[in-house]
Every structure is written in structure tokens, then in C-alpha cells.
Structure 1
Amino acid sequence: MSDIVARARALADDLLFPAATGVDADGVLPGAALDTLAAEGLYGLTGPASHGGLAADPPTVHAVAEALAGGDLSVTFIWLQHLTVPAMVAGSPLAGEFLADLCTGRVRSGIALLAATRPEPVAITARREATSFVLDGGVPWVTGWGHVDVLLVAARTPDDVVHLLLVDAQAGPTLEVVPQRLVAVQASATVELRVRGHVVPASRLVRSVPLAEWQAADPGNLRTNGSLALGVAARCARLGELPALEVDVAAVRARLDAAGPDGLPAARAAAAALAHRAAGLLAVAVGSRSVSRGHPAERLTREALFLLVFGSRPAIRAALLGELGG
């Protein structure tokens, strides 16, 4: 899989990073960037080879995500949400209809999983009516609106079962989106999603999982998000010519790779704290230019701030407060 990682690094250096300042200033992501990732096969990174995916192992997924995050975090943020969906759809009743298109990027996906990751209050509820599920509620963060065709939505029934449904990403009377204004990655087209009596055919059910089972497995899913912070930190090290920082990036990467579920929240916190420190070091190394709007150091500093809270959990937050001296 080393050739996939090399391709991702080349895309980050030659395509994404040179355009990132303009993308950040405009707050709008050109579709061509995501089209290029699809053409390179990266939308199928986690999909099975039987349906055109690359069936990459976790270390490869982490390395690709880290490389792309060091190019343009907005692009990577949208693309990373997609990776959950081919892996979930594989082996489900929807595989025949969707999996090949998900792997090629002909169908692109986002996620709205808060009802599974936050116990209370329930973000999105579901009730079964004949051959449909009816959804009510909302989530504050759905990334890639306008760049995705479907959303993997977690909705819960009163018996604490999480139903994962593939929902068309189309606004209407029962599905509303409100754009978010973010300190960084504004071009990620992140919105608040609200649903009121939104009907989804039961044929769009990917799987149903007891809430306790999902939450028991959740800590093991935290590693990939840590690659975003590593990518930002590594880019800071390269731009600032800070070899000691590169050593720190390697150490935190090794810590993330070695951590089991119990240790992953602290390792994730260490990665976010490192990105924050790396951006500060880059700003000092660059000097006064780093506070000029549009300088890469200024953008990376805002991205590091964003990553302090992105994909957080109570255990990550507590560990970060310790890392930062709180």
C-alpha cells in the first residue's frame, strides 16, 4: 500500500497545499479537488476490492489521512467522513445498490452519527411506521453539504437501539440545513442538520446496533481522526524547518498506533495538543508574517485550534486540559 500513501503525499504537496490559501480565503471548495481524490481511488480506500475499493489496512488509511490533512484540511475533512460509509455498507443489504459507486466516488457520503456517540439528549430519534422510519431531531455538525449525495444518519428508538440509515442529502420541508460559520475549514461546507417528521424507507437501513454495543466500540474508532492533527503538525514542522518537531510528530504517531481503546483518548489529546504547539512554533519561526491574513502559518494556527475540539469526547477533553495545563 506504500504507493497509495506516496500518491496522497504528492497530491497534498502538488495540488492541495498550493491551493489551500485561496480555498480558505474564499470559503468555498472547488469540486475538482474532490474529483481528483476520487480519480486516484481514494474514495474507495476503505471499500472492499470486490466492489472496486482498495481494501486498505488501518495503517495505510491513517497515513493517507495524515498526508492529505497536511495539504488542505477542508478537503480532507469532507473526504474523511466518506470513509466510514463504504465500510459500513459492505455486507449490508444496500451493498449491491450503493457499494461500487461509493468506492469510486460516483456516490459521495457524509455522516451524522451524534445519536450514537452522545448518550443524552438523543440527537435524532426514530420511530417505525410500516415500511419506513420517521426521524426527528438534529445534529450541529454535518460536513460536506453540497459535496455529498447521501448521509449515514444514526437515529435511536426508545429501546436504545441505533438505526443507521442512508439518507438522501437533499434539503426539503422535513430536512433543513443551516450553514455553520467556523474559525477554520469554512470551505468544508459544514452545516447544522434538522429533521422533522423526515421519512426514510426501511430499505435504506444499513444496520441496527444496540447503543451500549456501539459505545463500547467507539474508543477504538478514534485513531483515524488523530491523523488530521498529525498532518497539520507535520506541515508546520516542514514549513518552519523544525526538525525537533518532526521527532515529536513521529513520537505521537507511534503513541497513537500503539494505544488500545483505553489509551486512545489520551493519545488523541496528545495529537491535538501537538498540532496546537506546532502551529505556535511555526508562527514564532515565521515571525510577523504569520499574523498576516492568508499566510499559511495563520491558516494552520486556526486549523490547530479547530482540531482541539473536533471529534472530541469527554475523555479526550479531560486529557487535553491536562496536556495544556488546565
Structure 2
Amino acid sequence: MPVAPNLVERAHDIADTVLFPSALAVDRTGHVPDSHWETLADAGLYGIAAPADAGGPGLDLPHIIEILEALAGGCLATAFTWVQHHGMLAALAASDNHALRDEVVPGAISGQIRGGVAYAGAVPVPPRMRAQQVCGGWRLSGHAPFVSGWGIIDVIQISAGDVETGDIVAGLVNAEVQPGITTVIAQPLFVADASQTVALEVDGLFIPDDRVVSRVSRADFMANQNFGSRLNATLPLGLVGRCARLLEDSGEPAAAGALRGAADAVRARLDAGLCDASTLLRARADGCELATRAAAALVAARGGSSLLRSDSAQLLARSALFTLVAASRPELKRSLVDQISNSGR
């Protein structure tokens, strides 16, 4: 079997036989079993964002999207933590820092090195995370909200705004307490708490030049965020797919078919918006709203049993709410508030 269909098939199988059956336990305990990460690594799913010339499978975007949606429909906490590895991997694979790329990318593809990202501090203007160039590298200071995978991942790609030029500098640091990371604050979440999400306070964190992944203009940085935003949009659509399957199992095939058709339409608009941030964010909003409706339909179909913590419907409903704010942007927030309240219509 060719590589891409093989990886897609593995992802669906892992979602159905490993992730979804244990999702309630992951939610209850707030812990993703190490075996989940090992299973994903053994299946070759840590390297899906790497191009062939970097040693990856060289998947096209539709196959990557299908894999991400499948895993999101298995266990949100696992998928949300794992998906951020691919943002780091894609950036490293494209880095001009060849020595760093050659050092880290092979381990990242195999899953021996697990990565995460801290982009959010660089997005606002002025940035929450600031970088100042010094002899031999950069010093970072500021706040990185909602960094997922603390205690799970090995490295973080952290982005900051250059105080002199406004460029965005991204560097790779070990995911551990170290000089310059002054405070690590646990962020208890009402769902996906097993993602082990924290906020980081940084004061004088030194990133040497040989650990810098990239330095780009703010305009290029924001344009590149479209790719990440497209990947994050797989979370709600993955939940829609799982809700549709469970609705079918509950004797509601028409509802399941309607949700799948709506998801196909959103997916097409997301792909069309890859070069247009506004279009992409509007489609993301529609995907998030669709996930909440799909979960609500499942809760209604299941009836009273869906109120029990032992029922997957309530977990999917909370997971759908998570997608309303995860990796959000002000434009996405505005669109969702308007759509859900009908105030924008």
C-alpha cells in the first residue's frame, strides 16, 4: 500500500481502537497514557508534517488533514497535544539553520523528540513575548499563555517579537524549568486537561543563535499562521465525524448524514481559505459552531444517559466547546459570538 493511504488507515485504526475507547479515562484522570504517544510514534504519525526531502513521508495536505481529523475524533486531549508537534516539525524542516534542522528533525519524525509550540505571545501587537538581540543570540521576556504538553514534550518552539524591528524570532528551548523561565503556572482545563497546559513567565531566557529556527517579518509570520490555523480547524471537524458515527449507532442516520454533508462544505471552504485569512477564520468559526451542534444532537439522541460522566456524549459536548476558543484569534471570536447569538445576521 502507498505510504499516504497506509498512514491514513493507521490513524483511523488507532483513533477507533486505542484513543476513543480510553478517552473517558483520559478525561477522568487528566493523564494521557505513555502508550498513546508510543503507539503514534510506532505508526509513523509523528512525522506526517515533514516533507520527503527532510526524511518525512511527504504527504499532501488532504492526507494530513484526514489524519488529524481522525485522531481528533478519537481523543481531543491526545490530538491537541500531538498536533502542535507538527507546527514545530514543519518550521524546523523549512529552517535555514541546517545544523539545528539536521540535529532535531530525524528524532522529531520518529517521535523520539516530542515538540510543542508557544506562538501566542508573539501574535498580539505589542507582543506579549519580546525578544532582544544580544551577543551570541537573543533574550526573551514576557508571557506565553497556554503552552500544552508540559511534562510530555521535550522541546518548545517559542516565538517572540523583536523589540527593535518587529520581526518575529522563533527559537527552540528544552521544555523544562531553566534560567529565564521564572514561573510555570498550571492551567486546569474543564476538558483536555490531560494536555498538561501551563502558562510560562519568561525573564531573560537566552536562546543562542544556533537554536534559532527562524526570523521573519511580522507579515510573513501572520501569513504562515494560516497553515497552523488550517490544522487547528481539524479539531472540530474530527469531533463532528465522531458524533456522526455515534448518532448513526443511536438510530439517527439522517442526522448523521446531514452533519457529514455540512462538514464536507466547511472543509472545502477551509481549503479555499488557505491564502485568505479572513475566509479561513470564517470557515473555522462555522466548523466550531457545527461541532457544538453535532454534540448537542448526540446529547439529545442519547437522552438522559448523556448526562452521566460515563457517557461519551457529554465528553464530546465539552470538547466541542473547547474548539470555540482553542488557538483562537480576535476575528474568530467575533465571528463566533455573532453567529451563535445571531447578532451579526
Give the TM-score of the pair, scaled to structure 1. 0.95
Match of 2:288 in 1: 272
Match of 2:260 in 1: 246
SS at 1:43 equivalent: coil
Cα distance between partner residues in 2 of 1:206 and 1:118: 20
Match of 1:111 in 2: 117
- The structural deviation recorded for 1:128 is 2.0
- The structural deviation recorded for 1:51 is 4.1
SS at 2:87 equivalent: helix
Cα distance between partner residues in 2 of 1:72 and 1:217: 27
Match of 2:174 in 1: 168
- The structural deviation recorded for 1:136 is 0.8
**What CA deviation, in whole Å up to 9, does each residue of 1:54-110 have, x standing for no partner?**
121111111100000000011101110000112111243211111111111111100
Match of 2:240 in 1: 233
Cα distance between partner residues in 2 of 1:119 and 1:6: 42
Does the aligned pair in 1 maintain the 2:121–2:145 contact within 8 Å?
no
2:135 to 130, 138, 163: 130
Does the aligned pair in 2 maintain the 1:53–1:104 contact within 8 Å?
no
Paired amino acid for 1:84: G
Match of 1:207 in 2: 214
Aligned 1:55-134 pairs, distance under 5 A: 55-90=58-93, 91-93=95-97, 94-120=100-126, 122-134=127-139
Paired amino acid for 1:223: R
Cα distance between partner residues in 2 of 1:109 and 1:18: 25
Match of 2:303 in 1: 287
Cα distance between partner residues in 2 of 1:51 and 1:247: 36
Paired amino acid for 1:7: R
- The structural deviation recorded for 1:287 is 0.3
Paired amino acid for 2:33: P
Paired amino acid for 2:270: L
| Residues 173/201 of structure 1: CA separation in 2 closer, same or farther (3 Å cut) | closer
Q: Give unmatched runs, 5+ long, in structure 1.
A: none
| Residues 195/230 of structure 1: CA separation in 2 closer, same or farther (3 Å cut) | same
Does the aligned pair in 1 maintain the 2:155–2:173 contact within 8 Å?
yes
Match of 1:181 in 2: 188
SS at 2:178 equivalent: coil
**What CA deviation, in whole Å up to 9, does each residue of 1:14-42 have, x standing for no partner?**
11000111010001111110111111111
1:35 to 38, 44, 47: 38
- The structural deviation recorded for 1:189 is 0.7
Does the aligned pair in 2 maintain the 1:17–1:70 contact within 8 Å?
yes
Paired amino acid for 2:26: V
Cα distance between partner residues in 2 of 1:224 and 1:200: 27
Paired amino acid for 1:236: C
Does the aligned pair in 2 maintain the 1:146–1:189 contact within 8 Å?
yes
Match of 1:25 in 2: 28
Equivalent pairs, count: 325
Give the TM-score of the pair, scaled to structure 2. 0.90
- The structural deviation recorded for 1:173 is 4.6
SS at 1:126 equivalent: strand
Does the aligned pair in 1 maintain the 2:122–2:130 contact within 8 Å?
no
Cα distance between partner residues in 1 of 2:201 and 2:310: 33
Paired amino acid for 1:247: G
Cα distance between partner residues in 1 of 2:143 and 2:17: 38
Cα distance between partner residues in 1 of 2:106 and 2:122: 26
Paired amino acid for 2:101: A
- Aligned-residue Cα RMSD (Å) equals 1.5
Does the aligned pair in 1 maintain the 2:113–2:155 contact within 8 Å?
yes
